[in-house]
Amino acid sequence: MKIAKWKSIILGGVAGLGFTAVGGLVARFHLGRHRANRVWADARYPKLKDVGTVKRLTILPLIDWYTARDPLTGEPGVSYLVRADDTTILFDVGYNVHGEHPSPLLRNMAALGVDVAEIDAVVISHAHEDHVGGRSHMMQHTFALSGQPVDLKGIPAYVPVPLSNPTARVTVVDGPRVIAPGVASMGPIPRQLFFLGWTPEQSLAVNVEGKGIVLIIGCGHSTLQRIVDRAEMLFDEPLYGVVGGLHYPVTASREVKFGLPLQRILGTGKLPWDPINRQDVETAIAYLRRRHPQLVALSPHDSCDWSIEAFRSAFGEAYRDVQVGKEIVVG
């Protein structure tokens, strides 16, 4: 009888702690969401001046879920090589789940004939593990291209929150800024995620001559709508294209651990018991269609195949697949 009583007390205590923890997360989530909405409402920037244009833009996925051919490696992370005329930017550095050296990023670069020495700048969209080179780097507030140091020789690295790197020249971006001729960071747009907390994310905008603005996005945690609204705030030129992640794991998650669909739970700006759904995707598609983009390419690293097919169906000939090794060309 005494053992049963103690078991009951212990189970009750554990349950109480669980409810307290969930309650704390819910409170943090609502406070953070209110803060993000306030930051968004207060962020009223003038048009970016002297951005310039580029004649040719190419986006070469180096890390993503699907690959165009063997022996390229896919993983649920992102890294794109952005070439804007004479400027070469490494946008995010992938996941490197197992901390390998050379990492999948370096192996794919070698297979595609890309040398680290070509890189003029690094841009980190946001400080999540699948964009900074792994969980340990996310926890240590740094970013890395591989499991062992890679010398970036003092090149500039633009990050939305304080991150370190032993050889890059790191600058924290706190608002829209031009980082190369025709290329700008639109500045961080924050969102509160239920488990991962406060998440500022920046996207790139490239002004392609005679066409308009191409947006390059890491995960789109800040929502497609706010990213497009920020672009329309900063530029007079029309939206030409959107390339990258928008985090629509509606029917499946690329990351599954212990049977849990991690991306549906961890990366959402919604409550975990109210996940991203088909209506959210359809609403975003309708919003984007009103801008009549000529290029749409949805990253599969954080969106399920159902969402990809929904975008493909909606945008028809304007749609492009995002695959490692398959270059997207504008201009």
Residues 264-316 pLDDT 10s: 888 789 999 999 999 999 999 999 999 999 999 999 999 999 999 999 999 99
Condensed to tens digits (0 to 9), the pLDDT of residues 52-80 reads: 999 999 999 999 999 999 999 999 999 99
- Give the residue-averaged pLDDT of 103-131: 98
| pLDDT on residue 10 | 47
Mean residue pLDDT across the chain: 94
Q: What is the pTM of this model?
A: 0.94
The listed range with the strongest mean pLDDT (4-18, 23-37, 112-126, 264-278) is 112-126
Share in percent of the chain as helix, strand, coil (round to 5)? 30, 25, 45
How many C-beta neighbours within 10 Å does residue 305 have?
13
Please give the pLDDT value at position 134: 97
Which pLDDT score, from 0 to 100, does residue 21 have? 73
The pLDDT, as a whole number, for residue 15 is 52
Summarize pLDDT for 21-32 with one digit per residue, the tens.
Answer: 778 899 999 999
Average pLDDT over residues 236-243: 98
Q: Can you say whether the dihedral through the CA atoms of 33, 38, 39, 44 is positive or negative? A: positive
pLDDT of residue 262: 87
CA-nearest of 252, 224, 251 to 315 is 224
- Decide which of 200 and 24 is more confident: 200
**pLDDT tens for each residue of 151-171:** 999 999 999 999 999 999 999
What is the percent of the chain where pLDDT is above 70? Answer: 94
Confidence check: pLDDT of 96 > 80: yes
Least confident span in 1-10, 101-110, 233-242? 1-10
Give CATH superfamily name and number for 43-330.
Ribonuclease Z/Hydroxyacylglutathione hydrolase-like (3.60.15.10)
Domain layout of the chain by residue ranges: 43-330
Mean pLDDT of 33-53: 96
Instruction: Tell me the average pLDDT across 18-47.
Output: 90
Q: Which pLDDT score is estimated for 143?
A: 98
pLDDT value at residue 78: 98
Q: Where are the beta strands (DSSP E) in the chain?
A: 57-63, 79-84, 87-91, 121-123, 156-159, 169-172, 177-180, 183-185, 189-193, 197-201, 204-208, 212-217, 239-244, 256-257, 260-261, 295-298, 328-330
pLDDT tens digits along 207-222: 999 999 999 999 999 9
Q: What does the angle CA 152 – CA 153 – CA 159 come to, to the nearest 5 degrees?
A: 50
